[in-house]
Structure 1
Amino acid sequence: MSIPKSLYLCVKLMPLMQALHLPVMVRYNCKISSAKGKIRLNAPIRPMMMTVGFESVGIFDKKYERSIVQIDGELELGSGKVMIGQGGRLCIMEGANLRFKGKFENSAMIEIICKNNISIGNNVLTSWDILMMDTDFHQTINTCDGIRNSAEGKITIGDNVWIGARCVVLKNTDIPAGCVVGANTTVNKNFTEENCLLVGYPAEVKKHNVTRANENE
């Protein structure tokens, strides 16, 4: 049931011979709000390099919490599989670049809003109810000197990062490799230390020398 909509999306965003491999698969009830951009593959093409709306968590209802996809900018896919869970919303605006360097997993209900640049490393795991956006949409202005602050920034997430449930990742954020972001944390600045626990509003380093254990350890 998901093949026709997935094929339509791929044909809109990729050369035909690549699109026929169905490198991106969206669930049949996924809403494609716009597809004016392009998908770039930085790895050998294969089916289902990215899936949207299939992963599930028992507390969410697939029937009513459907996914939404808007790709008007550029989406880059690397060598690992990208899984956007049920109810995931993906918005890449015109001129923006969202890059997945490798494997990425989301369980459900992630919202990624990219108006400028978001780069996500390999083997990144995210829980449910995640908001990630590199823009405030509206500028602020200093009332003393009249200087405007840019509404857009960048987000960089390193390899082997784990982001817990209901976290918010905002513009001008750098989460180094191996970091764990605790549930309900808001990250809005650059960190430099790898393998640490980030917790709070706004996020602060709470523990050092800690990272996510591999499943086979």
Structure 2
Amino acid sequence: MIRMGLFNSPILQKKGVSWMNEGGTVIFRGTACFGAGSVIKIGSNQRAVLEFGNNFGNAIAVNIDCNYSIILGNNVRMGWDTIIMDSAMHRLKTSNGNYTGRGYEKVVIGDDNWITTKCIVLPGVKTPNKCVIATNSLLNKDYSNYPEYSLFAGIPAKHIKTGIWRDINDNNIKYE
């Protein structure tokens, strides 16, 4: 089942879901739930592929801009106002007028990742399984050589520690 526009929040007054597929392919490997205020765009590149693993979910206002390749693993969760993009939309030139870099790279988010609120995931990012990305972090490289159960935080995100993750099947908080 694919659900869109669920999880309205009185804190963030975002409504609806915007879905734009200009020519690429979207693959759902199972269930997915998109919170209110989300924008999913697949660009006009006919080879663009956006893949959602089983049990994808975001709270509110995820923005995914796929022009090349974005693969989200199983049980990926995203917090409010998260951005994932596989293209810079523009190419840079050196001072002598030559292009530098391609301007796009594949993004691969591992299984059981929790990307928290207001994170930005840039082209070329790869994450290990079972990791947490702290609030307001900017991911800008391949982190896949770090171990599972890792915490990344900062601008740009750095490996902070190993040995933690979010179990989406056990979200109990006991307030005292």
Residue correspondences, number? 166
Runs of 4+ displaced beyond 4 Å: none
Tell me, yes or no, if structure 1 residue 196 matches structure 2 residue 157: no
Partner SS state of residue 6, structure 2: coil
What TM-score, normalized to structure 2?
Answer: 0.88
CA distance in 2, matches of 1:126, 1:214: 11
Whether the aligned pair in 1 keeps the contact of 2:91 and 2:99 (CA below 8 Å) is no
Residue 68 of structure 1 aligns with which residue? 18
Looking at CA atoms only, which structure, 1 or 2, has the larger radius of gyration? Answer: 1
CA distance in 1, matches of 2:167, 2:57: 15
Tell me, yes or no, if structure 1 residue 90 matches structure 2 residue 90: no
What TM-score, normalized to structure 1?
Answer: 0.72
Flag structure 1 segments of 5+ consecutive residues without an equivalent.
Answer: 1-48
Residue 78 of structure 1 aligns with which residue? 29
CA displacement at 1:173 relative to structure 2: 0.3
Distance 1:75 1:214, change over 3 A: closer
Tell me, yes or no, if structure 1 residue 213 matches structure 2 residue 167: yes
Picking from 120, 138, 150, the partner of 1:186 is: 138
Residue 132 of structure 1 aligns with which residue? 84
> Structure 1 or 2: larger helix share?
1
Tell me, yes or no, if structure 1 residue 112 matches structure 2 residue 64: yes
Residue 52 of structure 1 aligns with which residue? 4
CA displacement at 1:160 relative to structure 2: 0.3
Distance 1:204 1:111, change over 3 A: same
CA distance in 2, matches of 1:114, 1:104: 16
> What percentage of aligned pairs have identical amino acids?
28
Q: Give the root-mean-square deviation of aligned CA atoms.
A: 1.6
Report which structure shows greater RCO (CA 8 Å, sep ≥6).
2
Flag structure 2 segments of 5+ consecutive residues without an equivalent.
Answer: 172-176
CA distance in 2, matches of 1:133, 1:211: 24
